[in-house]
Amino acid sequence: MTQTAPISPGARLAAMRAAAPLIHNITNYVAMNVMANVLLAAGASPAMVHAREEAADFAAVASALTVNIGTISPPWAEAMEAAAASAVAHGKPWVLDPVAVFASGYRSGACTRLLDLRPTAIRGNASEILAQSGGAAGASGADAGDEVSAAEDGARALARRSGAVVAVTGPVDFVTDGTRALRVANGHGLMPKVTALGCSLTGVVAAFLATGEDPLDAAAAALAFYGLAGERAAQGATGPGGFAVAFLDALHALTPAELDAGARIEAA
């Protein structure tokens, strides 16, 4: 038995851009515009479709789906569940973003129902993954109140229980499928000063999942790509406003070769 060479992050980026996958997003009002711009800049084709009348049909034709509970309300929750079930039925990957799942019983109930629909991946900050895995989150709003390291055991447990790849993002990201785990050390401290960059990352993860066979490595490549674009954008940025602009430019400009040279992915 011969071993195939591993697919590099840069090769994954090139494949994603070549496919320009249609990413169906049911996300929060704060994130919609920046997420669409992030996906366009990265090379994917975003669409935001949330009506119950069409969400399931649209998930069937899109390349991947993301579901983000940031500004969830009951009609949207119905569409999220219908779209996720449709994605699964049609063999399309879908990614869950459990924004502030710890903030209310309403949110945690919605996430429990979504988890039952077997997401391909879950991306959240440490507080969100801790809460999702049954732990106590040290946060009350949308920003993380816990260190990534504190959520690693929870992430492994959540991955094993749900069957999803779980990505805990922060200064150093941790991503696991319950068996293997990776750390991704790309990124910059200005990223959490721009709203919805975490939410938008969920879309980029979906775009890489849509065009890669192995969800753990595909997700890690997406995290490295995103973090490296953040590092490049921070060069010369004088604050979060200029950084956000330069970040879109960096997502657009970063080449596969640059990603291979700059990605800091290690076994955990």
Identified binder of a copy of itself from the candidate list 18, 89, 253, 257, rule CB under 8 A: 253
CB of 193 to a copy of itself, least distance (A): 5
* 252 lines the binding site for a copy of itself (CB under 8 A): yes
Residues 130, 132, 133, CA angle at the centre, nearest 5°?
A: 65
Specify the pairing of strand 165-168 against strand 173-176. antiparallel
Among 235, 266, 240, residue whose Cα is nearest residue 253: 235
CB of 173 to a copy of itself, least distance (A): 20
Walk across the sheet containing 94-97 and list its strands.
Answer: 45-48, 22-26, 64-68, 94-97, 121-124, 165-168, 173-176, 181-184, 265-267
Identified binder of a copy of itself from the candidate list 11, 180, 231, 240, rule CB under 8 A: 240
Contact in structure between 144 and 98 (CB atoms under 8 Å)? no
Task: Name residues whose C-beta falls within 8 Å of residue 59's C-beta, 6 or more positions apart in sequence.
Answer: 24, 65, 82, 83, 84, 86, 87, 90, 92, 94
The sign of the torsion formed by the CA atoms of 42, 47, 48, 50 equals negative
Nearest CB to a copy of itself, comparing residues 140 and 163: 140
Only one of the segments 47-55, 121-129, 151-159, 170-178 lies at the binding site for a copy of itself (rule: CB under 8 A); that segment is: 47-55
CB of 75 to a copy of itself, least distance (A): 7
Q: Compute the distance between CA of residue 91 and CA of residue 63 in angstroms, rounded to an integer.
A: 9
Q: Compute the distance between CA of residue 118 and CA of residue 115 in angstroms, rounded to an integer.
A: 5
The sign of the torsion formed by the CA atoms of 143, 146, 151, 152 equals positive
> Rule CB under 8 A: which of 74-133 touch a copy of itself?
74-75, 100, 103-107
Q: Is 196 annotated as a binding residue?
A: yes
Contact in structure between 28 and 68 (CB atoms under 8 Å)? yes
Identified binder of a copy of itself from the candidate list 147, 195, 214, 264, rule CB under 8 A: 195
CB of 106 to a copy of itself, least distance (A): 4
| Per-residue contact string for residues 199-238; x = within reach of a copy of itself by CB under 8 A | ---------------------------------------x
Nearest CB to a copy of itself, comparing residues 178 and 187: 187
Identified binder of a copy of itself from the candidate list 244, 259, 263, 265, rule CB under 8 A: 244
The sign of the torsion formed by the CA atoms of 64, 144, 253, 260 equals negative
Binders of a copy of itself: how many residues, by CB under 8 A? 61
Residue ranges of the annotated binding site for substrate are 48, 196
Residue ranges of the annotated binding site for ATP are 123, 169
| Site residues, a copy of itself (CB under 8 A) | 22, 28-34, 36-37, 40-41, 45-54, 57-58, 61-62, 70-75, 100, 103-107, 140-143, 192-196, 238-242, 244-250, 252-253
